[in-house]
Amino acid sequence: MAIRSDGNTEYEANEPTYEEKAAALHEVIQQQLEQDATRLVLTGRYYGTDEARIIAEYEPMRSVKTLDLSDNQLADEALLALFQSPHLAQLEDLNLSINFVTEAGVKQLAEAEGVVVTHLKALSMEDNRLKDPAAVALVTSPHFSELEVLNLGWNEVADATAQALGGSDHMQSLKTLILERNYITEAGVRALFAGSVLDHLEELNLASNKLMGEGATALATLKSLPRLKILWLGNNAIDDAGATALGTSTHFPHLEKLYMGRNYFGQPGGDALYYTKTLTALQTLVLTEGVETNPDFVNYSRPELLRPDYEGD
């Protein structure tokens, strides 16, 4: 421990030195790598910039392909240290959710030279309070051209991010796109569908945005997503017209799971989805949530609650 002096009193500080942090973290890393040399999970440990630099400087990290640093205290300096580390060049899956990365850090990374972590297949930046300038910089950066999974959920991104994604030349391999709990509107949906970035998409999460009926209708009618299997649209103020457009859409021939809970549609929209003749691959349909506390909702995913005389087929 470091020795601090205040006035005539000397005492041992609680904060460990960089060397002490390094020794402790190296031990943690080694223990995990002995079990699986390709995967390292360091969640919820209050790690900050020092720990990020220690990880980046540690040569045994060369074998790690999956690195989970979610729920820590990583800030902008940590971001650049990780992405410029020659020991992390082989990373394929990086989870930086629930940290303190800001717009400045993301923009600096997107424009930086010397970035060697350029082969990521999956990146999560969930819950970092990022806004459009940060997300736009990220999705337009060539550093992320191989991404198959991108999670920007629980941030503050809106239609400018959707537009950047729709016009991106760098994210043509996306299979999973998570934009949950943001501010995407109908205009954002139209912009997102304008390009080819969604052509290979298998899962799209737009839950808890601002689509409303118009956004749902746009999503259902703009272009076909033949590979889409999972679609999350809960909590978007979608009305009967939007639900009906989805229930009669021919653009999702392989959709297997559709989540529509906590929206505004009633019996007509629910019937259109429940009795769909076009979503022929559908296996899971959730139309309401919290039915026990809201008698105005009908839970179409539980047939016995459809109506008193329901007997099934």
Q: Is 234 helix (H, G, I), strand (E, B) or coil?
A: coil
pLDDT digits (tens, 9 = 90+) for 31-80: 999 999 999 999 999 999 999 999 999 999 999 999 999 999 999 999 99
Contact 52, 25 (CB under 8 A): no
Cα atoms in the Cβ-side hemisphere of radius 13 Å centred on 69? 29
46: left (phi over 0), alpha (psi -120 to 50) or beta: left
Which amino acid, one-letter code, is at 20?
E
- Alpha-carbon span 226 to 250, nearest angstrom: 10
Domains of the chain: 20-224+234-252 (3.80.10.10)
pTM for the full predicted model: 0.88
- pLDDT at position 144 is 95
Q: Which residue has the tokens 């009633």?
A: 266
pLDDT digits (tens, 9 = 90+) for 94-130: 999 999 999 999 999 999 999 999 999 999 999 998 9
- pLDDT at position 170 is 86
- pLDDT at position 146 is 96
- pLDDT at position 309 is 37
Radius of gyration of the chain (CA): 23
- pLDDT at position 8 is 56
In terms of Cα–Cα distance, which of 192, 200, 197, 198 is closest to 218?
192
DSSP string, 56-118: HH-GGGGG-SEEE--SS---HHHHHHHHT-GGGTT--EEE--SS---HHHHHHHHH-SS----
- pLDDT at position 129 is 86
- Alpha-carbon span 188 to 74, nearest angstrom: 30
- Alpha-carbon span 207 to 297, nearest angstrom: 18
- pLDDT at position 1 is 45
Give me the residues of the chain with pLDDT under 50, please. Answer: 1, 5, 291-313
- pLDDT at position 10 is 57
